[in-house]
Amino acid sequence: MGFYFAQLLTGLANASSLFLIASGLSIIFGVTRIVNFAHGSFYMVGAYLAYTIVTALNGGIFGFWFSIIAAAAIVGVIGLLIEMTILRRIYRAPELFQLVATFGVVLIFQDATLAIWGAEDLLGPRAPGLDRAVRIMGEPIPEYDLALIAIGPAVLAGIWLLFHKTRWGVLVRAATEDREMVGALGVNQAWLFSAAFVLGAFLAGLGGALQIPREAVSLQMDLSIIGEAFVVVVIGGMGSVSGAFVAAVLISVLNAFAILIFPQISIVLPFIVMAVVLILRPYGLFGKPGSEHVGTEEPEQPLKLMSQKSTMVLLAAVMVLAFSPAVTADFTSILLVDVMVATLFAVSLHFMMGIGGMVSFGHAAYFGVGAYAAAMMVKFLGFGMLPAMLLAPFFAAAAALFFGWFCVRLSGVYLAMLTMAAAQILWGVTFQWQAFTGGDDGILGVWPAEWASSDKVYFYIAFVLCLGGIWFLRRVAHSPFGYTLRGIRDSQTRAEAIGVDTKFHQWMGFVVAGSLAGLAGVVFAFSKGSVFPDTLGIAQSIDGLIMVLLGGIHALAGPIFGAVAFVMIEDWVTRLDYWRFIFGGIILVVVLLAPDGIAGGVNRLIRAILPNQKGGAA
Amino acid sequence: MLEVANLNARYGRAQILNGVSLSLGQNEVVAVLGRNGAGKSTTMKSIMGMVRQKTGQITYEGQSILGKPSHAICRAGVGYVPEERRIFGELTVEENLEVGRRDKRDDAPEWTLEHLFELFPNLSERRKNLGKQLSGGEQQMLTIARTLMGNPKMVLLDEPSEGIAPVIVEQMANVIAELKREGLSVLISEQNLHFARLVSDRAYIIEKGSVCYDGTFGHLDQNPEISNKYLAV
């Protein structure tokens, strides 16, 4: 009995720090509608700063708590700077574009932290005055855990008072519902957004700072927490602070007991809980359907068929690509295969997001299933390359058929989160199920057939499959099915009113996008000769997202620009020291220069140079 | 007070307003009539700075407000009551009013909570209720009261009589008369000619994004073909 009670207390202590970071994320999303990937970085920097200040001050109980607060306050100021210098300039950009900027911030923070604090994990001191354990029902419980259990509800109460007893809090809650209306009532949204961002960053910094007596401070803290924090926010309902608290407790306590029964589950448990909650309550436990009035967004332009001139340019580019192996070195052909794989992946994601209006944070799931299906057919069933290539995309389609059925029941960020949950569950299973998938060691020796083993020949296989896939998706986008999908994207209710089965069309759109992502995964698997769980991971999903958003979601050419630029730049900068810093900086520059993505920026450039012509890169 | 000249507005490629011109004098109540989709709400939103793509002139008290953000326009003394009410459903009545509260201005009447609760007795009873718990008519009252908390000099009322019970429409007419008594200028958009005639001094009719009538209600009554052409459903 005592053991289970101790386990419960551990769960509650974990819940406190999870709640702190999630509540900040929820507040930022509620007011600004920004999905802040940099929130994990705030958490990590809070921990590093606290470590530095605590060890420098070394000032007993008072010094310890002062350091924690000071670290959180500094993170708040960093949040303010980011909001004012970057995010404030791009609030008008298409929804979710700000996410790209926050991802650039993540990269910059990773290398900045590495440069300042080094790669070694840092072990913080114990909290003075709370450094022992007390016995409760015979089990030793760290005093610091008890303090954390108290801090969570205390912060919740503080936020509640702030939100209900101050004018600022009332304005924040009003803005969470309808920020345009709050502006029309005379409130300067810019300051409201800044303040919400500062508060959110402060809470994340506090969550990180409070961790230093419990765990080593490391460079992996940012990405290890962000997924779980998103899950908590979504389960609670985005924008709901009390929801975040309930969800943090739910996840942490469930986890504390689940690992007793089935230790492997802890990696996927939060995502399973999220999936179940979202299927039962599409807006989370305490969430509400978002306001219709998030802003007067302009309707999307219809897609145009390409003008003759741009068709010529495109054909010329394809021809150059086709003949490139004749004149370039092998490693260029290999790089170009990477580019084509990334492009097909990005185009398939764009089909889902730009054409289908369904944002995915977990598109890697289908890429990875395609790659693993091909690898396993070759390794375990002795298939040849071609049959494996042909069959594997159907497995991706099957996975998309299964997960898509759940996902299309939701919309917006909730849909995106459920796609992420699907991908994380698949990733977790692949990672843990050593006997079947090889686990962390992956599957090796997935090489192309003898006749296709030269880099040049494989280039042409990839060329045919990837360009064929891209061509197919373009055709579908311009087919009646594509029109229907775009109609649903622009107005679900109107599409329903004219008799379209919107869910079914979205579901099929999901499957088409998933299958083609699977095809990209297959080409990828044979080009690398191996597959690892990374192919299903969050990083792979985010890469695709960045390609699509950076390229420009409103243009069919967007993902092509985005993927080519992304792979080329990545290939170049990863050879440099502190490449994440440089890469993040480049992303921020592109974001600020072209808030409509690269395709939009190119279009504007063409119009500026040739004022009489319409930009053709649609 | 307010001078709109040759206003064009668009959402993306859809042109909504084609050169709207109208004016509103000190302490005047003017109705903008027109069918659904004629451009009444877009005119209101453009004045309030809530439509980005627009050209032309919008002058308020001799100053151009075209291109100003809506919070600045509000602070200059323009109150906006949106068509869809847009009250904050998760906030109490009092909190809704708090969001609209702004400091007293020297050149406009001051509206206190007490005064507003006198004007809207229903709201007083329900001050601790959440916005989403109110009836449609109460929500309409709340959205007007919320705007008055900003102590405006001029109010844009977008379709105040839409979707509320006849008895509340009557109450609404009294409220508008009270606004005029207090010295405010009011621009109302309406589809209901009878309600508009009851509360306003003169009228514009908008059709397909342009003003096609500018005059008195008397002239409209003498020439029924005008209202038949532009207002009849």
CB contact under 8 A, A184 and B91: no
Kindly report the CATH number that applies to the domain delimited by B2-230: 3.40.50.300
Q: What is the pLDDT of residue A298?
A: 52
Q: Beta partners for B202? A: B30
Q: How far is B70 from chain A (nearest CA, A)?
A: 5
* DSSP codes, A78-117: HHHHHHHHTGGGGTTSSTTHHHHHHHHHHHHHHHHHHHHH
Provide, as residue numbers in chain B, all residues whose Cβ is less than 8 Å from the Cβ of A171: 99
Tell me which DSSP letter residue B3 carries.
E
CB contact under 8 A, A185 and B150: yes
Confidence of residue A421 (pLDDT cuts 50, 70, 90): confident
Closest partner residue to A180 (CB to CB) among B50, B88, B99 is B50
Q: Does the pLDDT value for residue A93 go beyond 80? A: no
| ipTM field | 0.93
Measured in whole angstroms, the distance separating CA A166 from the mean position of its chain's CA atoms is 34
Q: What is the pLDDT of residue A177?
A: 87
CB contact under 8 A, A184 and B71: yes
Least confident of A86-95, A167-176, A182-191, B201-210: A86-95
Kindly report the CA angle at A170 between A168 and A171, in degrees rounded to 5?
A: 65
Measured in whole angstroms, the distance separating CA A47 from the mean position of its chain's CA atoms is 22
Chain A interface, mutation test: which of B70, B73, B96, most A Cβ atoms within 10 Å? B70
CB contact under 8 A, A185 and B13: no
Between residues B227 and A580, the one the model is more confident about: A580
| Domain boundary assignment for chain B | 2-230
Q: What single-letter amino acid sits at A538?
A: I
Chain A interface, mutation test: which of B98, B99, B147, B156, most A Cβ atoms within 10 Å? B99
Q: Which two tokens stand for residue B58?
A: 């919008």
Highest mean pLDDT: which of A396-400, A418-422, A594-598?
A396-400
Between residues B73 and A226, the one the model is more confident about: B73
A51-55 contacts at long range (C-beta below 8 A, 24 or more positions apart): A51/A117, A51/A122, A51/A124, A51/A212, A51/A217, A52/A117, A54/A124, A54/A125, A54/A212, A55/A124, A55/A125
Q: Does the pLDDT value for residue A195 go beyond 50? A: yes
Chain A interface, mutation test: which of B53, B74, B86, most A Cβ atoms within 10 Å? B86
Measured in whole angstroms, the distance separating CA A501 from the mean position of its chain's CA atoms is 29
Contacts of A541 (CB under 8 A, 6+ apart): A360, A361, A362, A363, A364, A365, A420, A423
Q: How far is A424 from chain B (nearest CA, A)?
A: 34
Provide, as residue numbers in chain B, all residues whose Cβ is less than 8 Å from the Cβ of A180: 50, 70
Q: How far is B223 from chain A (nearest CA, A)?
A: 38
Q: Which of A278, A214, A230 is nearest to A37 (CA)?
A: A230
For residue A409, give the 3-state DSSP assignment. coil
Q: Which two tokens stand for residue A426?
A: 């698949």
What is the share, in percent, of chain B residues with pLDDT greater than 90? Answer: 63
What is the share, in percent, of chain A residues with pLDDT greater than 90? Answer: 50
| pLDDT tens digit sequence for A124-161 | 888 888 888 888 888 888 999 999 999 999 999 999 99
> A with B: how many residue pairs have Cβ under 8 Å apart?
79
| pLDDT tens digit sequence for B169-209 | 888 899 999 999 999 999 999 988 889 999 999 999 999 99
Closest partner residue to B88 (CB to CB) among A177, A183, A188 is A177
Average pLDDT over residues A164-180: 91
Q: How far is A298 from chain B (nearest CA, A)?
A: 5
Tell me which DSSP letter residue A439 carries.
G
Provide, as residue numbers in chain B, all residues whose Cβ is less than 8 Å from the Cβ of A167: 98, 101
CB contact under 8 A, A174 and B70: no
Strands B29-33 and B210-215: unpaired
* DSSP codes, A232-254: HHHHH-TT-HHHHHHHHHHHHHH
Closest partner residue to B13 (CB to CB) among A170, A292, A301 is A301
| pLDDT tens digit sequence for A230-284 | 899 989 988 889 999 999 999 999 999 988 888 878 778 888 898 899 888 888 8
Between residues B35 and B74, the one the model is more confident about: B74
Q: What is the pLDDT of residue B87?
A: 93
